[in-house]
Chains A and B, each alone.
Chain A
């Protein structure tokens, strides 16, 4: 019933934004001004969300209030994947992430993206209480921890070579 509107939600921020819009629409239902709901839908709600809501309302036999309250409740049931990445995602990057989530974790899962340049690259993923560190920083640390002596030896050798050449 709400799949079309929910498919427009990719992140926690977008979910919060949609919730605000639903609240505004719910308030507009009680305004005496004629066409208040339609006006709010056009002016206050993002156009692609507004059109999705319009389409779903036209196709369903439920009242506006029940529809909006149901939509709000279904927003609460969305599961969240927490992602920490090294750079701020672009619009296309967000869409890519969301499509990966849809294809791997199914529908009804959105992302909560945090930006932390210290992880260098890759991502830290938290989902359903599971924690996976797929960052470059952690890879570096693991390798450095295991092969510290080998790396330092190599570095020392290359330093010596460079000095001899000069």
Chain B
């Protein structure tokens, strides 16, 4: 960005602040100002033109300091842009692309991108056909996602949504996917926690954190998800798969409501402006599975399938799924993962409710084995829920029912996952097949958990074992075949849990 005088000489136009209303500024002058154009005040504050009328230019202030009445303002001649390059990886920036903490040194050839662009049309898109692994067994097996899917993460506050998102980031970043985490109006402490998680797990080289705290101006908070998506699009155009986390869009909607109410826009339902749906849909429409032209070092262009997977978050009030913003977001995403406060209070981690969660395109990206497994598991979970309700009547149980209930308990223990661990999908599939085959029958839960931990660490440490499990999951077509195979081959579970034995 250049200085005030340069823009003044370039545009030959000036405005004077006549009214300053918290985050909004009304200035007279600037006859050729355009909506969304960036403006600069004489003391260095920046703003964006929100609307125009005969007498005033309405400006959304993007700086923390207030602008005094009478201050001069100039046009910058174009919409808001941020500088993007690979140097952003491992950094925390604000929504204007300015570094928070460590500085960003962009190379000379770094490009500037507009924050608001039209999403690519159907000609550049491809159907979702590759699975996206989150490292959370519940999601990978029951509510599977695909690369390029937009899946809403929804639930009450403090139900473990952020830990789930961090697990997804960990899992994706470890596989080389670029993760852009937009922390929208978060507490500074939460932002630091996310930074620490990234550092601790050594995934900085594949992550960018775009953060605004709740103390930042509303304009800056409003831009956060657009900045994150712009960065995601940059990496997409570099031929890299991207995961974008938008945490959270209900807070974003509240800040946008604050801005529009200040600007005296006509309030709609729950006082949100009429364009709140458009505000979010034009953002989420930018995610998807794309065919991108990638140029190599020799300048030769090749087509590559690249995805931007989006996990927007919506916070519920008292578990009410029918709120205005959550239902809007459900309408524009390809499903949702519901974090149930009742399951959370019952001690489940993650407290995902599989019956109220939906995945619309994730299943089409799964292998036949996973589709078969997912169906079998869902049927069992429905039966288990019925059985548990039936048990409340104190009825006498048959042997089969007792077995199912015991398997249900083992399944619950299997799906309980610590927030700092990501379970590879191949391990999840094999473990589930082992449970179905009757492994760890009669074992206590702590033994089961210890054995699961051993299998996961072997998967990470022993390349041969990793290849064995990955090939097994890739080549099998039916869940029943996998169960038989696991029964006959002790090596698959490292000999653990067979015939209910513990290690």
Contact = CB atoms under 8 A, between A and B. Distances in A.
A162 interface: no
Contacts of A58: none
B31 A131 contact: no
Contacts of B11: 131
A130 interface: yes
Main secondary structure of the interface of A (DSSP, over half): strand
Interface residues of A, number: 7
Interface in A117-166: 126, 128-133
A130 B74 CA distance: 10
Nearest to B29: A129
Nearest to B8: A131
A130 B9 contact: no
B226 to A, nearest CB: 28
B15 interface: yes
Contact of B9 (A126, A128, A129, A133): A133
B369 interface: no
Contacts of B12: 130-132
A126 B30 CA distance: 11
B305 interface: no
B258 interface: no
Interface in B13-34: 13-15, 28-32
A132 B11 CA distance: 10
Contacts of B14: 126, 129-131
Contacts, number: 25
**Size class of B's contact patch?**
10 to 19
Interface in B126-159: none
A155 B389 CA distance: 98
Interface in A69-101: none
Contacts of B30: 129
B409 to A, nearest CB: 73
B8 A129 contact: no
B55 to A, nearest CB: 11
A130 B8 contact: no
A131 B13 CA distance: 5
Contacts of A131: 8, 11-14, 74
Contacts of B31: 128-130
B184 to A, nearest CB: 35
Nearest to B15: A129
Which of the listed residues A129, A130, A131, A133 has the most CB atoms from chain B within 10 Å of its own CB? A129
Contacts of B8: 131, 133
Contacts of B15: 129
B459 to A, nearest CB: 66
A85 B310 CA distance: 57
Contacts of A133: 8-9
Nearest to B11: A131
A132 B28 CA distance: 17
Contacts of A132: 12
Contacts of B74: 131
A146 to B, nearest CB: 14
Interface string B215-252: 00000000000000000000000000000000000000
Which of the listed residues B9, B29, B30, B31 has the most CB atoms from chain A within 10 Å of its own CB? B29
A131 B15 CA distance: 9
Contacts of B29: 126, 128-129
A82 to B, nearest CB: 8
Nearest to B30: A129
Contacts of B32: 129
Contacts of A126: 14, 29
Contacts of A129: 13-15, 28-32
B186 to A, nearest CB: 39
A41 B28 CA distance: 35
Which of the listed residues A128, A130, A132, A133 has the most CB atoms from chain B within 10 Å of its own CB? A130
A131 B11 CA distance: 8
A111 to B, nearest CB: 15
A157 B186 CA distance: 65
B336 to A, nearest CB: 48
A129 B74 CA distance: 9
B27 to A, nearest CB: 9
A133 B14 CA distance: 12
A165 B500 CA distance: 111
B352 to A, nearest CB: 56
Which of the listed residues A126, A128, A131, A133 has the most CB atoms from chain B within 10 Å of its own CB? A131
B115 to A, nearest CB: 25
A126 B32 CA distance: 14
A131 B32 CA distance: 12
Interface in B31-45: 31-32
Nearest to A142: B9
Contacts of B28: 129
Interface in B56-75: 74
Contacts of B13: 129-131
Interface of A: 126, 128-133
Top 6 closest pairs, chain A to chain B, by CB: A129-B29, A129-B31, A131-B14, A129-B30, A129-B13, A131-B12
10 contacts: A128-B29, A128-B31, A129-B30, A129-B31, A129-B32, A130-B14, A130-B31, A131-B11, A131-B74, A133-B8
Given A126-B14, A131-B12, A131-B14, 6 more contacts: A129-B30, A130-B12, A131-B13, A131-B74, A133-B8, A133-B9
Interface of B: 8-9, 11-15, 28-32, 74
